[in-house]
Structure formats: structure tokens, C-alpha cells
Structure 1
Amino acid sequence: MTASPPSLPPVYPEPDDPRLTREVSGVDQTGAATSTSVVHERALTLYLNAQEIVTMMTIGDHPDLLAVGFLLNQNMLRADDEITAIDIDEDLEVVVVRTKRATNYEDKLKKRVRTSGCAQGTAFGDLMENFDAARLDGSARIRTSWLYSLLAQVNTAPSLYLKAGAIHGCVLARQDDILAYIEDVGRHNAVDKIAGWMHLRGVEAADKIFYTTGRLTSEMILKCVAMGVPILVSRSGFTAYGVDLARKAGLTLIGRARGQRFVVLSGPERVVFDAPLRAAK
């Protein structure tokens, strides 16, 4: 893969897209009539060539990115595979990824693992496949000034989360420049969309920072390592197995990141403390 083109346009949430939310009426805590925006949740069935792989619940945007990222993170699509077409049928709620290489994952599909994702994530086969062979860039760094800037940008950017809630977001950044900010009902979907975006656009992972609103579970660490991103940040907390995996892979793991507060439980050598802390009020 080549380095990220300087002119690569960033991808941001589109909270005003009418396909993603709808207004629902109800009553508030006083009994008064009110209405609120709620996100859509749709089934999307993914095929790899002629084989049905999985049906996912998603908000419905970027089905091509979700499909490619899911297949990459499940080791069903290789980095050097030639994708000949991505066919999307919105009426049938189907996406088909076609490759030059013939594929058959019948045996792998028999081994299914329910992940801890809040929208019932599913993983197939050996979750540790290729994990031990992964190598993350040891020279990557995250300055605390970049981290604070990223957190502020994510918190204030227009998003489905601010409009309707019930959503997770993931961000890929270079220093404190957001390259992609993508949302979905499950954090695993949002991660997969970022993975698909990187692959289809030839974006190098070695110098990138990944931010998620979700918990830092084993699934998050495995996917981040598979993508080759060396630094993972979340506003949420950790699981013990997730921390163990991050330390084994040499992944910098930063959690509970809010304002100027955070905790690093793996890879602190990549953190450069260059920003002065504001006095506590």
C-alpha cells in the first residue's frame, strides 16, 4: 500500500441524511407531547462471490466499506486480493463483494463467535489468526496536544450521536487531522467501515491513530492490530483480556479519554506529554 495522499478528502458523519434517522413522537417526563430523532437499523446481508457470509444490523450508510472491512477483519479477504466488483442492492438489502480469487469459507463459517459488541457482533474462525505475526510501527507517536485536539473535534463535530444518540463512532486520524469519522449502531461495524475505507483508498496504517467511542475489548484490539494501526484511543474503559492482547501486540492503548484525562495501560512509550494541563476547577 502507498501512503495516504495529501488531498484525500475526509469522511464525516451526515446527520441530515434522511435515510439514517426519522422523527418519532412520544411524551416527555412531564407528560407533554414531544418528538425525537431515532436512528434506523437495517439488515444487510453480505456475500463474498456466491457464498452468503453474514447478515449484519447497520444504519445502512457505506455498505461497500462495511462489507470490505468485515471481510478483511475476518481474514476472508486478503490484502492482495483483487476486488473485481462490489454490487449493492438496496431493495434486497444485499451487498456482494466479488474477487478474482475463488473463495470458499464453508468450514470457517461453522465456527461462529458472539462478540461483546452491543449490536451482537459475530466473528468467524480463529480470532487469533495472524495475530502473532502482526507487527506494529514502534516509531509511531501520539502527542497529548494531538489527543486533546482530537477529543475536542470529535465532541463538537456534527454527528448522528449528537442528533439521535444510540450510535457508536470511530475516527482515523493522522496526528490531530481527522481522515475518517464513521458511525454505526455497533462499534464493530464502525471499525469495519474504517478498515474498508483504508483498504479501498490505499491508506497506510503505520502512522495513524484510531479513536472509538466503544469499550476496549479483545475484539477491538484484534481488529486494530489486524488493520496495522499502532495507537488505539477510547473515551470508554478496558477489559482485562483486551489489555493483555494489546501488551502482547505492542499496541498503545489509551482509555477513559475525556477532556485532559486519560489512562494508558499498554505502550506508554509512544505517548509524548507536550501539552500543559489546565488547572482543575
Structure 2
Amino acid sequence: MHTPLLLPNPDDPRLTQPVTGIDHEGRTVEAAIIYERPLTLFLNGQEIVTMMTIGDYPEYLALGYLLNQNMLRPDDAVTSVDYDPELEVVVVRTERETDFEEKLKKKVRTSGCAQGTAFGDLMERFDQVRLPENAILKTSWLYSLMREINTLPSLYLKAGAIHGCALCEEDRVMLYMEDVGRHNAVDKIAGYMYRHGLGPEGKIFYTTGRLTSEMVIKTVQMGIPILISRSGFTAWGVELARQAGLTLIGRAKGKRFLALAGAERIVFDADPHYVPEEERRFSRKSSRAEED
């Protein structure tokens, strides 16, 4: 079986905390809850943003955030990424001098959970990206990915209140990241790709969250031509996907899915009648995830 390059660690004591409460019948129960902590990002001495995050892979989160906000160029030379867990600060330094004082004044709030924000010129590179037209998605790959993602080690299955994103290639999961906000999870993957020179060619992106404008913009900026979600769509997300030529697939559960953009990339090579329905525990959890 293919082993992903990077996965969450549900047993990491730094990510969850055991708490005691009572259930609907008044019984004392113990539950695991997700830690949420601030992480302040500096770029070359300038404070950029404070994010709320679970705290794993802060270096990848910092790099991915800067890339997706167009503060870090794909060809920039990063000289260091330093993380101080006590101060909860990560500092990214580049050879190129940067000054984003004016850019930091122009913020718009997005629909991403956990205080998601994007800068006013978030889309400054969106119209310049050209996604590969020859990319395909076989339905056999899609069904295989959904089964594999449902069985990966997951903080969500342990504690809930979290979103996940995966970078895939054909029917294999390459990376899986989780965080309190889906924008953080996608930024971690973008940061990993940048740090390790992993290109978007032949890649597929998966998210547990809604297919919003922010998710579409970030996927397009990463150069990935296919975006899949268990959840639903927003109108602007669909409009932007069609504009960019992104294949957008939502409500993907078991044998079912809905494509609202880029359907020409889909190759129907699997008979859905022979695809088993999802196990009940995943269907129930996925419906809760859409509400997070």
C-alpha cells in the first residue's frame, strides 16, 4: 500500500487535551478536544498576521500562507524559517527585501472558519494562472481516494472540530494536513510543496470543507487543476472555478459526487453500481464536518 509522505499524528499530546463532562443522559464522560493556539508570523522583521492553529508544522503553514497571499513569490529564495514554540512566533527571511505595510491595510474577511482573512489583492495572480488542459480524473481514482482518506489517521475522528486537506496523485494520497480552519490546512500543503520542490503537475487537491471562493483561489494559485470536497459549493466558488478552468467536484461521498466545473476532465472508468456505500460512521461525521 502507498504510504503518504506526511500525515497528522492523532496521538501527539500537543494537539489534543482530555476533558471531563457529561453526556445527554447525565453520565460522566471523557472526551478529547483540539488545542487552538496563536501563531504570529513575521516576514523579514515585519509582523504579518497572527493565526489560530493547532500548532503542528508551523514552518509549512508560514510559507504556505505567504505564498497564497502573494507575499512570497515562487522563485523567492528563503534563507531561513525559524520557529520559537515558547513565543509562538515563526519568522521567515528571504533574500529579497519586502515591505507590505500598504498591503496589510487592505484586508477582507473570508468565509473560512477560525478567523480566516485574505488580503484585498488576493486575486492578483489568479487571472495569470493557466491550469493544464490535459489533466484527467478517473472515477476509479476518485473512489479509491475517498476510501483511503476515510481510513487515514485523523484528528477529526479523534476529537472533531477540525478540517482536513489532502494532496493526491492519481489514486494515491501524498500529503494529509488538518487544522481548525481549512485555509490553514491548504496553506500547510502549499508550504510543503514549496519547501520540497513538489510541483502541481498531475496533482489532485481534496478538502473536507466547503468549496468557497478562497479554496478555489488557493487551489488555482497552487497550479492544481482538480479540487474535490465532501461538502458543498458557494456560487462565487463555482464561478471562479469555471473562469479558471478548474475541475470542481463536491458532495463526494461513497459512489456519489457532483461536478459543477471542468467536467470534461472526468474519465468514467468505474461502474458506480459496484462501488460500496460509505460506512455509516464516516457519513455521519461528514455531515457534522459541513457544519463546522
TM-score interval (norm. to shorter): over 0.9
Determine if the alignment matches structure 1 residue 184 to structure 2 residue 146: no
Match in the other structure for 1:226: 221
Q: Distance in 1 between matches of 2:255 and 2:136?
A: 18
> 1:188-267 residue pairs with structure 2 within 5 A?
188-267=183-262
- TM-score normalised by length of structure 1: 0.96
Q: Secondary structure at the match of 2:248?
A: strand
Match in the other structure for 1:140: 135
Q: Distance in 2 between matches of 1:130 and 1:98?
A: 22
Match in the other structure for 1:4: none
Match in the other structure for 1:166: 161
Q: Secondary structure at the match of 1:278?
A: helix
- TM-score normalised by length of structure 2: 0.92
Letter in 2 for 1:245: L
Q: Secondary structure at the match of 1:128?
A: coil
Determine if the alignment matches structure 1 residue 69 to structure 2 residue 64: yes
Closer/same/farther in 2, CA of residues 8 and 15 from structure 1, 3 Å limit = closer
Match in the other structure for 2:49: 54
Match in the other structure for 1:10: 5
Determine if the alignment matches structure 1 residue 93 to structure 2 residue 88: yes
Match in the other structure for 2:16: 21
> What is the percent sequence identity of the aligned residues?
65
* Aligned 8 A contact 2:106 2:119 in 1: yes
Deviation at 1:9, TM superposition (A): 5.9
Q: Distance in 1 between matches of 2:66 and 2:195?
A: 13
1:68-112: CA deviation from partner (whole Å, max 9, x where unpaired): 000000000001110000010000000000001110000000000
Gaps (5+ residues) in structure 1?
A: 1-6
Letter in 2 for 1:143: K
* Aligned 8 A contact 2:4 2:173 in 1: no
1:135-162: CA deviation from partner (whole Å, max 9, x where unpaired): 0011111111110111111111120000
Q: Secondary structure at the match of 1:153?
A: helix
Q: Secondary structure at the match of 1:12?
A: coil
Q: Which has the higher helix share?
A: 2
Deviation at 1:204, TM superposition (A): 1.0
Q: How many residues align?
A: 275
Closer/same/farther in 2, CA of residues 112 and 37 from structure 1, 3 Å limit = same
1:183-222: CA deviation from partner (whole Å, max 9, x where unpaired): 0000000010010011111111021000000000000000
Q: What is the aligned-residue RMSD (CA, Å)?
A: 1.4
Q: Secondary structure at the match of 2:48?
A: strand
Match in the other structure for 2:288: none
Q: Secondary structure at the match of 2:103?
A: helix
Further displaced range: 222-231 or 120-129: 120-129
Deviation at 1:125, TM superposition (A): 3.0
Q: Distance in 2 between matches of 1:44 and 1:198?
A: 21
* Aligned 8 A contact 2:141 2:171 in 1: yes
Determine if the alignment matches structure 1 residue 129 to structure 2 residue 106: no
User: Out of 113, 122, 136, which is 1:118 matched to?
Assistant: 113
* Aligned 8 A contact 1:136 1:206 in 2: no
